[in-house]
Chains A and B, each alone.
Chain A
Amino acid sequence: MSEPLLSITQLRTTFATDAGPARAVDGVSFGVPRGETVGLVGESGCGKSVTALSILRLIDPPGRIEPSSSIRFEGRELVTLGEGELREVRGNRVAMIWQEPLSALNPVMTIGAQIAEVARVHSKVSRREARERAIEMLRLVGIPAPERRVDEYPHQLSGGMRQRAVIAMALVMNPALLIADEPTTALDVTIQAQILELLRDLQSRLGMSILLITHDLGVVAETASRVLVMYAGEIVEEAPVAELFRAPHHPYTEGLMRAMPRVGGTSERLTVIPGSVPPPTAWPSGCRFRDRCPYAWERCEREHPPLYQVGERHVSRCHLAVEPERRQHPHVPLAAAVGAESGR
């Protein structure tokens, strides 16, 4: 098998805080194969956005990527790449789109000028060619009347059109990898579907890889071929998308699935995972999910679980892999029990 486009090994990104170092990303390893979409799922504060920003080295002090980390992309080591070479990678080979399209666009520049700027920074094109390219990109992302829209300002576009403009900006240089951080979260449901459809369509046309970061398993189900589930700075489960939905292994993934609204579901209420992600300055010893887990037992407190192989190309960071019978006896998670007591 050939080397994947992006290959991350033992990525650690920490932030110096008054409470000590916050290990936001704590030893994450995964790969993004060429032409595939990989979904990175987790709740707020699990480290998924920091992972994305680390790939482009957009971590500012007090944050830092530990030097033992490795991010290999197209044969280059991004962790140690010089500033100049890094600029050539950003926007050219790897591009990123953001959650809030309005704030990701400069309010005082026309969208055409912003798209053209990326083209002019990365290639020797004239002002006029760059403008032509901007119009072409706007057409590609499905913005009607691109010749007119190219001279409009971000506030003149609707939310969905803005996200299309942001995508146009990201794809001007035909990057090999697109990092999409919650690209549809800020949009209406109908617009969400259109943007996901557009990303799928562009991916097949341009042959790029996508790293899709989201808290929404539904988005992943529609778009990704492989899924990574992140919790408390670590990958806790990785599987092909169909396998993950058919047979989730980690109790956290199970919890996420149960928290998903389903059409035609029998249950009246959605189940929530009790408690919240612990602070990154104090990850618990042993299993980091144990206080919220309905199966946790003494081993989970003692022993930090490794990534167990639980199927073909399916791994899970849960001791249930070696003691599966414990799944038959769920109990009230500690976080829920404590929460219920203090709530009274």
Chain B
Amino acid sequence: MSAAVLVVIVLAALLAPLLAPYDPSAQPDIVALAQRPPSGAHPFGTDPLSRDVLSRVVHGGRISISIALLAALLSASIGTAYGAVAAFAGGVTDAVMMRVLDALIAIPRLLLLLLVVALWGAVSVPTLIVIIAATGWFTTSRLVRARVLALSRDDFVVAADALGVPRRRVLWRHVMPNALSPVIVAATLGVANVIALEATLSYLGLGVRPPSASWGTILQDGGDCMAACWWVTAFPGIAIVAAATAFNALGDSVRDAFDPRGEHVVA
């Protein structure tokens, strides 16, 4: 089920220009066509500026999904690098890096994001991705560090050492590939998290700015007339919930696939 939802969402985002019936930012007639309820011509209705909501949701998905995928990928990379360096370095370096991490984890993520975005002022989409990634890698790095430390004591790593394989090669060929499964799981679950996070920021007017529109931006457009034009917020809202749920389910399936001891649940 969730796999089907995922396919529909990703395909819609990829094929947005072909699927969207109208230009997402065109305002054909701000008086006659504003706030029209769903109809044959406008299946998701129109917003207060007479824009077609279906076209905006389809195009908004492109931005929301891209931000989510890239931010999750970037934060997984930062987290992996930080955790691996701490584990390999060991000793004082490791201790200092972990205490810094403890301090960062102690700050609520949304608060951290609001602070950065507020200091930055208007942010572009690439900057937004970097900011979201920069506040999202903490738990991944903990996972990676723990995994690398455990693996370094595993028989096959000691065996490679005993056969004269150089340390650097042992780390890259034997330790790291085996440390990646929790990262992939965390990154997939991270995508769902970022979708919701980006929507929150954009809804607060701190994320994606017009004329670009993400699902969060569309929510904001409809926020003023929630009672009079429910369709402007309902459809992007459904898209956010559906996408986040689908990526969460995917993350769970990936976890099951990597963990042969757990029960396999087909999502």
Closest-CB distance, A59 to chain B (whole angstroms): 11
**Cross-interface CB contact of B164 among A92, A100, A103, A108, cutoff 8 Å:** A92
| A108-B178, A117-B173 known; A103 vs B154 contact (CB < 8 Å) | yes
Contacts of A88 in B (CB 8 A): 164
How many residue pairs bridge A and B at CB < 8 Å? 63
Q: Is the CB of A121 within 8 A of B169?
A: yes
The chain B residue with its CB closest to the CB of A166 is B159
Whether the pair A91, B155 counts as a contact (CB closer than 8 A) is: no
Question: Given A103-B156, A106-B174, A108-B178, do A118 and B165 touch, yes or no (CB 8 Å)?
Answer: yes
In the assembled complex, B102 has its CB within 8 A of some CB on chain A: no
Judged by a CB distance under 8 angstroms, whether A122 is at the interface is yes
Per-residue interface assignment for chain A, residues 248 to 260, with 1 indicating a CB less than 8 Å from any chain B CB and 0 otherwise: 0000000000000
A76 interfacial by beta-carbon distance below 8 Å? no
A-side contacts of B156, CB under 8 Å: 103-107
A269 to B162, CA, bound (A): 41
- Evaluate contact between B155 and A107: CB separation under 8 angstroms: no
- A71 in the interface, Cβ–Cβ < 8 Å? no
A186 → chain B closest CB, angstroms: 11
A228 on the B face (CB < 8 A): no
Whether A118 touches B163, Cβ cut-off 8 Å, given contacts A106-B178, A108-B178, is yes
Interface residue? B259 (CB, 8 A):
no
With known contacts A108-B178, A121-B169, A169–B155 Cβ distance under 8 A: no
Which residues of B134-186 have CB atoms within 8 Å of chain A's CB atoms? Answer: 154-156, 158-166, 169, 173-174, 177-178
Known: A106-B156, A109-B173. A117 touches B178 (CB 8 A): no
**Residues on B with beta carbons closer than 8 Å to the beta carbon of A105:** 156, 159
Q: Which residues of B contact A58 (CB under 8 A)?
A: 158, 161-162
24 A-B pairs with C-beta separation under 8 A? A90-B161, A90-B164, A95-B163, A96-B159, A96-B163, A98-B159, A100-B155, A104-B155, A105-B156, A106-B156, A106-B160, A106-B174, A107-B156, A108-B177, A109-B173, A117-B173, A118-B163, A118-B165, A121-B166, A121-B169, A122-B164, A169-B159, A169-B163, A170-B163
